[in-house]
Chains A and B, each alone.
Chain A
């Protein structure tokens, strides 16, 4: 790109955009509301606001332009290839968005009489039916709001079950070193202590080490399968067997369930509970970081401890159980959030499931694994693959191929941005050095993968040819170049304040 300085700072379609607070003109308004009658101060108990809030006033055209311009500074799946490992950035169907906006589904209050929301309860119940059917698990807690929330929910059920059986002394949780950071954090929230389990040289749980750590104070193990290296835990049945023999439960982190959905039933792996990220496996939008949903399937042993509320079949209708005493045998460990779960996310996930069907989902997981292995095959002679194939839905490389080039994993990723790709996940999992974790997903075509492979190969050659300075300068073609994160953390500026945020 020619080095052109513009008067405005804008660069063609890349337009600078001020904060809303810098665009205010007091008295402007973006909605039409009638002038309210004088306030009945009596009914405000003397608590009428005494000073202005400080919100900016904008018109609708300003607002529309503001958010349109902001959107143009974002990279999404709709923009291009997004091989962010462990995040499952696959196509988000637009049918899901359409049906999630049907007034008969969105304009419902969770506290309407249950007779008036039978269709909504049917959405929850139908999704639950599918998730149980696909995993082969007998029960499910629908309300967790995200993956980490589902983890915590599963661990709470485990803790409640142990307590109920007089096994409350079981407080130790075995977590492999390659686990997501949420695993140990969720365990700590349940009053558990975390005992890390090392990985073997082939990227899997060290079964001997795990067995040696099992004992009558172990509440459960938490194993991600397929794991965060993109590998199936080959000894999974042995791990499950040893865990159960020790009186502990097997919590499976379902973050990578998309690799096996429709091909493998979780119940056949000896799992006692697993959360499902609807925003990954079932393709609901990530939305720039939420909302997600983390329904958690449970074994028969753990089922009675599922949190409130839940839907049951009752006569010819569906009934929402909101209190323990409303359902015989229920021993809920509590409530995990307000209301009845991430309903808007449920609709989208169910639309995806009904569209795909069991056959479509089997094809999806198959193509996801095919695509990851295709990337691995196309790159393993120029990058350094951390483990021998085959991989599952994602492939892992480390930074040995960058040795002595002066280029880091981070530099390499930033260079990919200039090439029009979203980078892969970097520096995770922690078990390999300078990790580059690539998850192509099943919705990418062969042409897209070929294009990406060609670019990565060319960049690897460039790095080895001694172009470190060019990598350090990347990205150069983005709305902003590398941002100073140290400055942000050392001198936190976490909000706008009049006159103190500098220029746009």
Chain B
């Protein structure tokens, strides 16, 4: 086997050095009843060519996004990832390192995480960020739990514009705790009254920005209402590219901002792994979950970086820790920070403006379809539409997929129990959408609707 270096001669010599006759003697502590010999009935190993062929075959059964006019978003966005990102990500010193417990031989990981934390804080308009969480949904759940810890309150209010996976993950995390998460009905029209529901028992209100249906709105009145009642405002961002163009949640009064970082550096990958960004105010840093990198000095007085504030974490605090999280998404954070370094202030602004312009252009083209209604008044690169005549969006998406067009996501995929959402379709446009893609979509829609 190509990954195993020992020859049989090596094994014999090593067994002799250990002083046992055969390897089975090393497994004597395993109860005899559990020592399987040959009952696995699973295939034997294969060479590189055979394995590669198996994956090429499975890959061939998919319609990949790059082969079709593509308008799917709903929390994950298809952006072009510059070639340098993946090339550098593949370096073995990044790829095959562990969590940076030994800082003297991990300054590479520690420095990029420190830079990542700074970028995450700047982008969200917050003061401090951690070294990442699993994904946006789990970061959202952790934020809600942290808000309850900070406020010593139990009631968590989830906006109907929050991504349903974020809503469900948060609901699951608090399910058997003393916390109570109340999720409002899906809100494609942006009519829910969150301010009226905030009271002195509320730990936090969780909203998404831009929201699940694409809408962006000023969060300042909600932040003020939360703060007046002593509650925190948690803002989830599923599309961080938007923050290159629109006001940051921090500037509007958010107390905790979480985000899905997949948009930058990582590609779609069928939705995993993700990258959870988590940022907050300095005053809450000791309540923040997750790894944090800090700056310090070495023995010779030179600047260096270490994991810090670990007394919040599970390996020290055990059941009293701020979270059970152990790893972060180190390599995904690297992809994110590398892409953002290539973009910079100039590039991110340009990319965001381009995305917005393309979405506006798509909306303009969709106006040709009678009866189709774009729901949000203001949006970034995605918006929900109501199909004419109450047409079923799920059926439409299947019909168009059969024609090789990936025409967005039907809201019913997330809200099967809501017949009034059956005609709602979510459409996203990024810099990867060409004029021809949009024309293909509009012409297919015109034909089918």
Contact = CB atoms under 8 A, between A and B. Distances in A.
A260 B30 contact: yes
Contacts of B401: 112-113, 115-116
A464 interface: no
B298 interface: yes
A77 B94 CA distance: 10
Given A134-B42, A475-B104, A288 B99 contact: yes
Interface in B101-147: 101-109, 111-115, 117-119, 121-123, 127-129, 131-132, 134-138
Contact of B44 (A101, A286, A337, A357): A357
Contacts of B84: 30, 60, 63-64
A82 B98 contact: yes
B105 A478 contact: yes
Interface string B362-392: 0100000000000001111000000000000
Contacts of A495: 114, 117-118, 121, 127-129
B247 A47 contact: yes
Contact of A117 (B34, B57, B270): B270
22 contacts: A29-B347, A47-B247, A84-B98, A104-B62, A109-B268, A119-B60, A181-B314, A290-B331, A291-B134, A291-B329, A293-B273, A338-B169, A339-B270, A340-B271, A345-B273, A351-B51, A354-B43, A480-B104, A484-B296, A488-B296, A494-B128, A495-B129
A107 B98 contact: no
A347 interface: yes
Q: Which 3 A-B pairs have the closest CB atoms?
A: A104-B59, A45-B378, A339-B271
B118 to A, nearest CB: 4
Nearest to B294: A488
Given A188-B319, A287-B332, 17 more contacts: A30-B342, A48-B246, A57-B344, A73-B106, A92-B96, A113-B397, A122-B61, A343-B273, A355-B47, A355-B48, A370-B6, A374-B17, A417-B104, A480-B104, A480-B107, A489-B311, A493-B294
Interface stretch (B148-156, B172-180, B197-205): B172-180
Greatest chain A CB density within 10 A among B84, B121, B176, B300 is at: B176
B224 interface: no
A338 B271 contact: yes
B354 interface: yes
Contacts of A504: 303
B357 A75 contact: no
B221 interface: no
B449 interface: no
A367 B27 CA distance: 12
A39 B36 contact: no
A357 B409 CA distance: 38
A143 B102 CA distance: 30
A265 B82 contact: no
Interface string A33-77: 111110110111111111111111110100110111011111111
B298 A481 contact: yes
Interface residues of A, number: 208
Contacts of B295: 488, 493-494, 501-502
Interface stretch (A16-24, A205-213, A399-407, A455-463): A16-24
A107 to B, nearest CB: 4
B436 interface: no
Given A47-B378, A119-B61, A63 B14 contact: no
B171 A334 contact: yes
Contact of A43 (B1, B48, B296, B356): B356
Interface stretch (A151-159, A246-254, A296-304): A151-159
B364 to A, nearest CB: 10
Interface in A271-321: 283, 285-293, 307-308
A112 B72 contact: yes
B354 A289 contact: no
Interface stretch (B226-234, B320-328, B439-447): B320-328
B74 A111 contact: yes
A29 B404 CA distance: 35
Contacts of B36: 263-265, 268
Given A21-B115, A185-B314, A339-B165, A48 B129 contact: no
A156 B172 contact: yes
A494 to B, nearest CB: 5
A478 to B, nearest CB: 4
Contacts of B28: 390
A232 B29 contact: yes
A356 B42 CA distance: 11
A480 B108 CA distance: 11
A233 to B, nearest CB: 8
Contacts, number: 703
A169 interface: no
A31 interface: yes
Given A20-B341, A60-B84, A184-B319, A338 B75 contact: yes
Contacts of A10: none
A39 B297 contact: no
B183 interface: no
A26 B345 contact: yes
Nearest to A110: B271
B342 A288 contact: no
A289 B272 contact: no
A89 B98 contact: yes
Interface in B254-300: 260, 267-274, 285, 291-300
A503 interface: yes
A433 interface: no
Interface in B65-115: 65-66, 70, 72, 74-76, 78, 82, 84, 86, 88, 90-109, 111-115
B303 A102 contact: no
Contacts of A126: 58
Nearest to A326: B416
Nearest to A28: B344
Contact of B431 (A33, A102, A363): A33
Nearest to A232: B29
B324 A76 contact: no
Contacts of B338: 63, 67
Given A45-B216, A145-B134, A355-B45, A19 B345 contact: no
A22 B10 CA distance: 52
B52 interface: yes
Nearest to B71: A109
A343 B269 contact: yes
A55 B131 CA distance: 18
B334 to A, nearest CB: 7
A327 interface: no
Contacts of B398: 113, 115
